Structure 1
Amino acid sequence: MLPHKMKISDKAFNALKRLQNNTGLTVNVGARLAFFASIERGYVWSGEEIELKQRELDKYTWLGDYGDLVEMLLKQKYPSLEVKDYYKAWGSHVDDGAFILESKISLSNLLG
């Protein structure tokens, strides 16, 4: 469902780079955490356009072993989306969650 190659927005990339500087977590791991933080927070993508143009990586690098789970959560949250829009929804959740996480100054602060 999600494409083989994926990117995130400039805003998310910059926020996740700050998180990496503070905690040592790489941008792709930060993106996974951001996605799940956004889902947990209850954020809902309203269909607005989002520019996903930073850091092209393959789907497995972005999602790791959680690819099937991410896709299932997106299908559950947005059952009537067209296939091409799931990528935008994922990017929007990463965008939302990145701002939740960027202010974390340590791994213990991130977990607490």
Structure 2
Amino acid sequence: MLPTRGLKLPKDTEEQLRRLKLKAKITPNVASRLAFFKSVESGYRYHDSTIKLDGSLVLDKVTWLGDLTLAIDCTLTMLYPTLDSKELEKAWATHVQHGVKTMRMVKSVKDLA
């Protein structure tokens, strides 16, 4: 399971989430949920990367994941059963980073549907 406090993302991912908020009016936490599942559905998998969680937006697990907390925790545990909570945080951040890259051309909520 993901840690309950202090989840972070890389700076570049946070910046992309902020741009998405300006363009499509989607908050960073909601956009991160969409990005996570887009990444998982695309077949992308985390491979012990050296991702730097150096972003300034530090939120707790419930704020980042909302009603999808259990679904995201279960998905991560299913995909990566041997990882500890800190590594699961990196896996989550990597999936969000990967998914956000596929959402660069989004200009409105309609583009996500």
Q: TM-score, normalised by structure 1?
A: 0.93
- 1:49 shift after superposition: 1.2
TM-score, structure 2 length as denominator?
0.92
Shift in Å, 1:66: 0.7
User: Number of aligned pairs?
Assistant: 111
Shift of 1:83: 3.0
Is the 8 Å Cα contact of residues 19 and 102 (structure 1) preserved in structure 2? yes
CA RMSD of aligned residues (A): 1.0
Q: Deviations over 1:14-70 (max 9, x none)?
A: 111111111100111111111111011111011111111220011101000111110
SS at match of 1:50: coil
Question: Which residue of the other structure, out of 89, 92, 97, is the alignment partner of 1:90?
Answer: 92
Structure 1, unmatched stretches of 5+, are none
Taking only the aligned residue pairs, the percentage that are identical comes to: 38
User: Does the aligned pair in 2 maintain the 1:16–1:102 contact within 8 Å?
Assistant: no
Give 1 or 2: higher strand fraction: 1
1:26 correspondence with 2:27: yes
Code of the residue aligned with 2:14 in structure 1: it is: F
Point out where structure 2 has 5 or more consecutive residues left out of the alignment. Answer: none
Pair 1:2-2:2 in alignment: yes
Separation in 2 of the partners of 1:52 and 1:97? 16
Q: Aligned partners of 1:69, 1:13: CA distance in 2, in Å?
A: 22
